[in-house]
Amino acid sequence: MKKTFVNTGKFIKVLGLALSLAALPLLVGVTGCATASHPDQSKGERIDDQATSDRVQDALVADPLYKFGGVNVDTLKGTVQLSGFVTASEQKSRAGDLARNTVGVREVVNNITVKESTN
């Protein structure tokens, strides 16, 4: 009688494991269909926007005068949003110009903040 109880316990554990593993693809499939940040975008649009953001970021980092380490780049459907901090208005303008001249950019929203000098 004791042996049957042990076999039943093993069966329940194996059944629980099998059901958990069977539910995993369903859970991943449902949660992977959309992103929380831009649910109205297709996968192709997200890939294009990421590539555009990367190109803008590369252009900002490659700039010989400023390097723009404190500027963030986000892209949604070709519209690039710049944010972060710079120390001069010329830097803000230059970052906007670099973004506008980057392949894939349709529009630039320049939300960079110019830090006031503490001198």
pLDDT score, position 37? 60
How far apart are the C-alpha atoms of 104 and 21, rounded to whole Å?
A: 42
pLDDT in tens, 49-76: 999 999 999 999 999 888 888 899 999 9
Q: Which amino acid is at 52?
A: T
How far apart are the C-alpha atoms of 107 and 99, rounded to whole Å?
A: 9
How far apart are the C-alpha atoms of 65 and 91, rounded to whole Å?
A: 9
How far apart are the C-alpha atoms of 70 and 30, rounded to whole Å?
A: 36
> Mean pLDDT score of the chain, rounded to an integer?
82
pLDDT in tens, 4-19: 555 676 767 766 666 5
Question: For the chain, how far is it from start to end, CA to CA, in angstroms?
Answer: 86
How far apart are the C-alpha atoms of 79 and 100, rounded to whole Å?
A: 10
- For the whole prediction, is pTM greater than 0.75? no
Average pLDDT rounded to a whole number, residues 70-94? 95
Average pLDDT rounded to a whole number, residues 24-49? 68
3-state class percentages of the chain: helix first, strand second, coil last, to nearest 5: 50, 20, 30
Q: Which amino acid is at 84?
A: G
